[in-house]
Amino acid sequence: MLKPNNKIFAILQIFLDIIAVIFSVYLTFLLRIELNPLFDKKFSFEIVHSYMPPIYLTILVFIFVFNYFGLYRFSKRENFLDIFFSVIKSISLSIMALMLIAFLFRAENYSRSLILMLWAGSIIPLNLSHLLGVKILKWSRARGFGVERIAIIGLDEKTKKIVRNIESMKSTIYQFAGYIQSRGEKQIIPAENSSVVLGKLDDLVRIINDHMIDRIVVSESSLTQPELFHLLEICERMEVHLDRIPDFLTITSKKINISEIDGVLLIGIRKVTFTRWDQILKRIFDLTIAAVTILLSFPFLVIISFLIKIDSKGSVLYKQRRIGKGGKNFYFFKFRSMFADAEKQREELSPLNEADGYLFKVKNDPRITRIGKFIRKYSIDELASLWNVLVGEMSLVGPRPLPYSDMEKDLENPKYKFWAEKRSEVPPGVTGLWQISGRSDLDFEEMVKLDIYYVENWSLLLDLKILLKTFVTVLSGRGSY
């Protein structure tokens, strides 16, 4: 259920959408008159209503579909790219619904072509409506209105990281209110955190009211099952959103089958497979974009190759053995950004490694050349990997291919075996969720979660969104070293 502040934002956004839909209907009719000289009707409100479904019905269809796709929920309303894709999807379904209504009610006077034109005519007005809504929301939250106040139950690295993210983020969506102490002795909060302890779980109702809590986040191991059910009951009654931080493997929980044997409920994990049609679509998508990118950037790639060659000794391209789809190894290509003997120096720099898991990252790495710093900052070195895409060893979007030398000793590590097998179900990618979610700033466990999420939720639309977000992230140079 929406909190009171969010209800106000929802009503405001609905009002803006109603205006945008009305404007779109009349704009579409005007465009039809201007673009089709054979259409001899002149503009008037009466004629518009005789050729199009009733305006109130059109509004109801759009608002219903927009609400279905979550465009009136405000927990993540600051990412306009996500909103843009949701608006396009919602408009498309709304137009399909209007066409179906016209067909079912045999409304012969309604122009099917005008209804189809409404799809194009409504894209800009409705996106502007939601852009304005985002701006109003940001302006309001910057003044403390509509900010979600979050309380945390549990004090482990996951909850600490959430608190650090909330306190460091430039966004004003969330505000950390403090910790709630559970009954377990192991959950006693140390003295250094005592200033942000709101109270104990037994006083949850008072804490929610006194500190105006909107959302509670609980760590997986912080509560017993009875405590969790009690917490859920209170949160539902008081309209407080409850989130639970799962173990990274439970991210697959949305892919489950529920069955029953003699009254015993069973939850089984369903293996997600790519159909042959999915693979064909993804391959066509990859080939088209990779080929066009190479052709358009070819002069630039020649210049980069020349600069790399004169900047330091060694080959223009760097190749390394990496693990691909199905565990098959391949040679991964990048433009060389380090000195030729960089691999030999890695062992000496290992004490400075700032990454965990199967990653090696060192800020201000002395092995990076002058031109290398530039091409790494803007991921220009990755353009050579488009060759791997063309020959089918990689995809444009997918899990990052990890070096075989880093993983060969631990391929059977039970902690990450599931992840290693899951990520190999799809081709590795030039870019992916790692790159748009923090690039070099992510820790290894977060990358594991992102890999699994991508494999479980793949679609061409997701690939397109990742590519667009990659472009924005690369231009900013954020999180790269």
Question: DSSP secondary structure string, 169-188?
Answer: -S--SEEEEEEEE-SSGGGP
Token readout for 425 is: 């179900």
How many Å apart are CA 104 and CA 98, to the nearest integer?
Answer: 10
The pLDDT assigned to 244 comes to 75
The pLDDT assigned to 43 comes to 55
Backbone phi, psi, residue 332, to 5° = -95, 130
The pLDDT assigned to 390 comes to 93
How many Å apart are CA 98 and CA 75, to the nearest integer?
Answer: 30
Q: What percent of the chain has pLDDT over 70?
A: 69
Going by C-beta distance under 8 Å and a sequence separation of 6 or more, which residues neighbour residue 87? Answer: 66, 71, 123, 126, 127, 130
Residue type present at position 265: L
* pTM for the model: 0.55
The pLDDT assigned to 267 comes to 41
The tens digit of pLDDT for each residue in 18-53 reads: 999 999 988 887 777 766 655 556 655 566 666 677
The pLDDT assigned to 397 comes to 93
Low-confidence ranges of the chain (pLDDT < 50): 1-2, 4, 185, 187, 191, 194, 248-270
**CA distance from start to end of the chain:** 43
Domain ranges of the chain: 4-142, 148-245, 276-476
The pLDDT assigned to 248 comes to 46
Which class does domain 148-245 fall in?
alpha beta
Closest C-alpha among 217, 214, 132, 138 to residue 171? 138
CA 423 from chain centre, in angstroms, equals 17
